[in-house]
């Protein structure tokens, strides 16, 4: 994200109860890049894996907990993230949810 207060660029991952989604946010416009069925579970993790390909271009995948590991949802997307910034946050629009963990880790190879 480019801003923690009022982001206009970034990646958004969420589950709507039926599908897992990965959207881009560019100049304030939200665009779906992955929207695929994934069985919802309250304790399941949703992860974005972004691997730098070259320059500011990333290969981005969406992963969801299956109960016995992670499974890729949809297909890997190529995203130019030049304006996306370096901020990371977790959020929920439903007051009954809480974000338990947000991690950023360097690639190990």
Looking only at the bridges linking them, the beta strands covering 19-26 and 46-54 are: unpaired
Q: What gap in Å lies between CA 47 and CA 35, rounded to an integer?
A: 14
CB 37 within 8 A of CB 23: no
Q: What is the pTM of this model?
A: 0.81
| The two structure tokens encoding residue 70 | 């992670």
Per-residue pLDDT of the chain (109 residues; tens, 9 = 90+): 788 778 888 888 888 889 999 999 889 899 999 999 998 887 788 888 888 888 888 899 999 988 888 899 999 999 988 777 766 666 666 666 666 666 666 665 5
Is 38 in contact with 15 (CB distance < 8 Å)? yes
Cα–Cα distance for residue pair 81/11, rounded to 1 Å: 9
């Amino acid at each position: 994200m480019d801003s923690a207060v009022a982001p206009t660029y970034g990646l958004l991952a969420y589950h709507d109860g039926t599908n897992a989604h990965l959207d881009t946010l560019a100049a304030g416009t939200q665009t779906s890049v992955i929207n695929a069925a994934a069985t919802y579970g309250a304790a399941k993790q949703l992860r974005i894996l972004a691997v730098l390909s070259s320059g500011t271009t990333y290969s981005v995948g969406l992963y969801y907990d299956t109960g016995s590991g992670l499974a890729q949802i949809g297909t890997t997307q190529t995203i130019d993230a030049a304006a996306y910034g370096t901020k990371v946050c977790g959020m929920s629009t439903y007051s009954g949810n809480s974000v338990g963990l947000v991690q950023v880790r360097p690639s190990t190879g």
